[in-house]
Amino acid sequence: MQLRHVESFLAVVEEGQFARAASRLFLSPPAVTGHVRQLERELGTPLLHRSPVSLTPAGLRFLPHAQAMVTAANAASTAVKDLRGTRETVIRVGVMAPGAAELTPAILRAFVHAQPRTHLTVEGLGFTDFLSAVVEHRVDVAFVRPAPEDERVVTDTLTLEPRILLTLAAGEFAGAEGVRLDDVLDLPYVRLPEATPRLLSDYGSFAKARNGMDVRWGVGLATSAQDLMTSVAAGWGVAGTLHSLGRYYRAPGTCAIPVVDAPWEASALVSRRDDPRPEIQAFRDLAVTLARDPELSRLRPPAPPGC
């Protein structure tokens, strides 16, 4: 999907005529018509009625996505303007799945579009190395959760999300639309490796609400988000996480129940505090800009339902 095709679509919607849209874009009317037709072919459905110009149901649904794409591209262009014409560079991006949910791929796409001379590589991170990978220079930036407080890194908060409990759909909370912290603290939790940073193990077991009460650990051992969901599906324990992980990794037979009185937690982008490269600053600026964009925020699905 090409940005110029999306821009032509938006111009037609805003101007109400193909001719006026073409004049605004300094294109010929046939060129704008061709852009919209190509976009419709790619999406497999008409977006506009032609006489008079109006949105089809598909066009109405696509409109906020199109606006978000153009907003992201403009933000990316502004963020990397100081890098244009510089030599080719590489940014190694770590992702502890699912990162910052829908924002993660949106940020990657926008940065590549705005700065094609800066190449991005992506590496998956597990529960034990989501911070050490940055500190030890294995990756340059990382999308992680929860947001760490560590003097060795700079942390940019990207999302704030409600908390959920991952558990068996046929378990004791079957049919529940929500639970409270008092309901879940005594459950067995999927065990994480000993090398897991305390920040993550505390977050996954709602440690802040325990007032010193020990965690009951189940028999499972998870080193990644996929392992965590597999262990929950096997009945080896429950897990506390953010609602977007429940959307990305819902295994059959499991459910994601909102923990209604748990404080919301953040996902974040982290980078080394001592990394002075302008491309890293540009990547951070773009990520924060898109995280604050209301159009992209509106596209994020709601929290998953209960069991």
What are the DSSP calls for 179-199, one per residue? Answer: B-HHHHTTSEEEE--TTS-HH
Which amino acid is residue 30, in one-letter code?
A: P
Rounded to an integer, the average pLDDT of 116-141 is: 93
Contact 240, 206 (CB under 8 A): yes
Indicate whether 289 pLDDT > 70: yes
Contact 297, 103 (CB under 8 A): no
Backbone angles phi, psi at 37, to 5 degrees: -65, -40
What local confidence, expressed as pLDDT, does residue 136 receive? 95
What local confidence, expressed as pLDDT, does residue 86 receive? 57
Query: Are domains 3-81 and 163-258 of this chain identical in fold?
Result: no
3-state secondary structure of 149: coil
What local confidence, expressed as pLDDT, does residue 98 receive? 87
Spatial distance between the Cα atoms of 255 and 221, rounded to a whole number of angstroms: 19
What local confidence, expressed as pLDDT, does residue 297 receive? 47
Indicate whether 84 pLDDT > 60: no
Class of domain 84-159+265-299: alpha beta
> Would you kindly state where each structural domain of the chain is located, as residue ranges?
3-81, 84-159+265-299, 163-258
End-to-end CA, the chain: 37
Average pLDDT, the chain: 86
Task: Domain 163-258: give its CATH architecture.
Answer: 3-Layer(aba) Sandwich (3.40)
Indicate whether 294 pLDDT > 60: no
What local confidence, expressed as pLDDT, does residue 299 receive? 41
240 DSSP β-pair partners: 165
What local confidence, expressed as pLDDT, does residue 191 receive? 93
User: Please, what's the b/e burial string for 166-184 (b: 16 or more CB within 10 A of its CB; e: otherwise)?
Assistant: bbbbebebeebebbebebb
Class of domain 3-81: mainly alpha
